[in-house]
Amino acid sequence: MRNSAGDRLPTERELAERFGTSRVSIRTALNRLDALGVVELRPRSGIYVHPDPLQRSIECLVLMEEAGLPISHEQILHAVEIRSLLELEAIKLACRRRTNHDLARIHDALRESQATLLEGGNLANLDPKFHLALITAAHNPVLTHFVASFYRMSKRRRDVFFADPEQNLRSHRQHVRLCEAVEDRDEEKAVSLLEEHLVASVNTLSSSVKI
């Protein structure tokens, strides 16, 4: 039976027996889940599913996605929206701060994508590499960490998005133009190109009840 927000969960002892492990392991896992906002540990009361889903951290959403647990369509759209805002700020910083080493990393990602397309593959697993190379050029590790978390959340949706061969070619061409804009330090062009690039992802999600 699926538990709802605010429901009381079994005790540590009962969970240890159910999963065939020690109470120490269960306690460690529960403390981690409590920190992520998945459960709430109430002294002298018990263990509860966290009553407020809004308190969940981004790491919690990532873990839920990777574990195949249900995430609402609304949460997915909100995550895409935040990711887009962060990437748009990141590319501005990348235009100002990028180094030759950053450009080399971006070009490496493009070459790998090009080789994959020539072999008939798709960019589902390589798309994050390119975008994170751009974001890393902003030289803000916290920003990179946050956006990387959103890409970890989107693997299943990328598989759907890049199932279309034309989408792969279109995306790669846009990546090349984004690279050129960052290389030229053309902040206005880079932002315009990225906005156009991200619209396709948002539209794909908006037209699907669940991906």
Res. 208: pLDDT tops 80: no
The pLDDT value recorded for residue 2 is 54
Res. 174: pLDDT tops 90: yes
The pLDDT value recorded for residue 113 is 97
Which is it for the CA torsion 96, 97, 103, 105, positive or negative? Answer: negative
Res. 99: pLDDT tops 90: yes
Q: What confidence tier does 1 reach under pLDDT thresholds 50, 70, 90? A: very low
CB contact burial 56-65 (16+ within 10 A = b; e otherwise): bebebbbbbb
The pLDDT value recorded for residue 209 is 39
| Beta-sheet strands, E only, within the chain | 8-9, 39-42, 46-49
The pLDDT value recorded for residue 91 is 97
The pLDDT value recorded for residue 210 is 45
- Which residue did the predictor score with more confidence, 206 or 78? 78
Domain ranges of the chain: 8-56, 72-206
Lowest-confidence range among 84-88, 140-144, 196-200?
Answer: 196-200
The verdict on domain 72-206 having CATH code 1.20.120.530 is: yes
| Shared fold status for 8-56 and 72-206 | no
144, 136 Cβ separation under 8 angstroms: yes
CATH topology of domain 8-56: Arc Repressor Mutant, subunit A (1.10.10)
Tens of pLDDT, residue by residue over 43-67, are 889 998 877 655 566 666 666 666 6
- Which among 90, 170, 173, 101 has a CA at the least distance from the CA of 134? 90
Tens of pLDDT, residue by residue over 145-166, are 888 888 887 787 788 889 989 9
Q: What's the whole-model pTM score?
A: 0.71
Q: What percent of the chain has pLDDT over 90?
A: 53
